[in-house]
Amino acid sequence: MSIEQGLSFDHEFTLQELLTGVNVDKLLQALTHNLESSVRILNVKKQCLFEAQLNATESTGTVNKTALYGELEPIGFIEACATPDSLQSAAQLIQLILYSNSRYLMASDIHIKTQRDDFEELQRRHAALEISETKYKQLAESLDVRVKQQIKTIESAQLKLYESEKLASVGRLAAGVAHEINNPLTPIEMMVSNLSRVYLNADPKSFKENLNETTSVVSEEVYKLKEMVSHFSQFAKLPEPVLKEANIAEYCERFITQHQNGWPVVKFRVLTENDVKNINVKIDHLLINQCLINIINNAVQANPTKDTLQISMSLKCENSAEISMVLFNDGVKIDNKTQKHIFKMHYSSKKSAENMGLGLAIVKKILLDHNGDIICLPLDKGAAFKINLPISERLND
């Protein structure tokens, strides 16, 4: 195709080109037969392109030539021993063939050109898309790297915060412990050091009274010290939870039945929403019991003057992964200042509403070990804690 040589589809075709694909032998055969002569086909420069002999003998008569026309001008000649009229009609026939062929050649050239152009356009767009895609891939990768870095930074910051918080907790605990241990030691020391002085200076009756008094004070204070040690041990010895499945609603009912007698002043109520009735959680019964005991003990101790303390346990599905249990009592409220620190480890033996000791720190630790959590709910009347526990599976109805 001429298009391959860089020629336009509408360039001037030569006679040679216009005969592409035409069976020239057959054509010449027909021509020689019709014109009864040997025939020569010449190009526009009158050079011979094709020729055919009729038979071995040379024909006689004048050789005539007539032009073959392309679009408007001659593009070649046909030469034979024939009359001008016969040659003319032969030329007409040949021109019809050439015309027909030129249609095909032009159409195919333009077709190839358009195919090529379309393909180039396609490739260009494809290349642009690839560049775009690469850019976005790189962007995504760099974003990914940055996000990962951010996560690392945040994690390390969180870790630092956690560590410093832990240290602070331990510091507070140690300070509290030191202070508290000191308290019982003062009266013990006073009584004991006074004892020998009385023995030496006073009458036996006074000494006996003093001895009784000393024994009484020392035992009481030693008892307090032992209580402290026991609480610390409890916190230090907290075991890893051994999880067993339990229906949360049934568990709560059972707990109340088992422990009601320990708190005669408490009136318990369990409220379950429908969606939580069939929910199971995985819990260590003993540890969760301890949590509830600590919380309820706090409530009872904080309300020593109440005849009846109403405690309700409200159960519901928090979301598809957790249940929540809200423990509410209608006693004194927990003031805002206390709420902030309520789960932190601090210890005090003074019996007043703020001093919960290690009890709630223990509760928090147990629940975190269960992949749950506990928060103190801010209320104007009464006090409430919300416990979250992960759902293990849903029983089908």
Q: Residues in the site for other proteins, rule: CB under 8 A?
A: 8-10, 12, 71-73, 99, 102-103, 106-107, 110-111, 113-114, 117-118, 183-184, 186-187, 190-191, 194, 197-198, 201-202, 206, 210, 213-214, 216-217, 220-221, 350, 352
Task: Tell me the closest approach of the beta carbon of residue 231 to other proteins, in angstroms.
Answer: 19
Q: Tell me how far CA of residue 364 lies from CA of 160, 233, 343, 387, in angstroms.
A: 21, 16, 7, 9
Q: How far is the CB of 115 from other proteins (least distance, A)?
A: 8
Least gap, CB of 3 to other proteins (angstroms): 10
- The label of the residue with tokens 């070649």 reads 76
Question: Which CB atom, from 185 or from 242, has the smaller least distance to other proteins?
Answer: 185
Least Å from the CB of residue 110 to other proteins: 5
In the β-sheet with 39-43, what is the strand arrangement from edge to edge? 48-52, 39-43, 74-80, 64-69
Closest approach of other proteins to the CB of residue 194, in Å:
5
- The nearest distance, CB 2 to other proteins, in angstroms, is 14
What is the distance between the alpha carbons of residues 323 and 166, in angstroms, rounded to a whole number?
28
Contacts of 166 (CB under 8 A, 6+ apart): none
Work out the burial of residue 352: count CB atoms within 10 Å of its CB; fewer than 13 is exposed, 13-18 middle, 19 or more buried.
Answer: exposed
**Would you say 9 or 235 has its CB closer to other proteins?**
9
Nearer to other proteins, 7 or 376 (CB): 7
Helix, strand and coil in the chain, % to nearest 5: 55, 20, 25
Is residue 198 within 8 Å of 206, Cβ to Cβ?
yes
Tell me, what amino acid is at 166? K
- Closer to other proteins at the Cβ: 200 or 395? 200
Of 136 and 223, which CB lies nearer to other proteins in the complex structure? 223
Comparing CB distances to other proteins, the nearer of 114 and 156 is 114
Strand bridging mode 309-317 / 266-272: parallel
Q: Which is nearer to other proteins, 99 or 136 (CB)?
A: 99
Q: State the Cα–Cα distance between residues 44 and 214, nearest whole angstrom.
A: 145
Burial class of residue 119, CB neighbours in 10 A (0-12, 13-18, 19+)? exposed
Q: How far is the CB of 145 from other proteins (least distance, A)?
A: 42
Q: Which is nearer to other proteins, 89 or 95 (CB)?
A: 95
In whole angstroms, the minimum distance from the beta carbon of 101 to other proteins comes to: 12
Could you count the other beta carbons within 10 Å of the beta carbon of residue 347?
Answer: 23
Question: What angle is formed at CA 195 by the lines to CA 192 and CA 200, rounded to 5 degrees?
Answer: 150
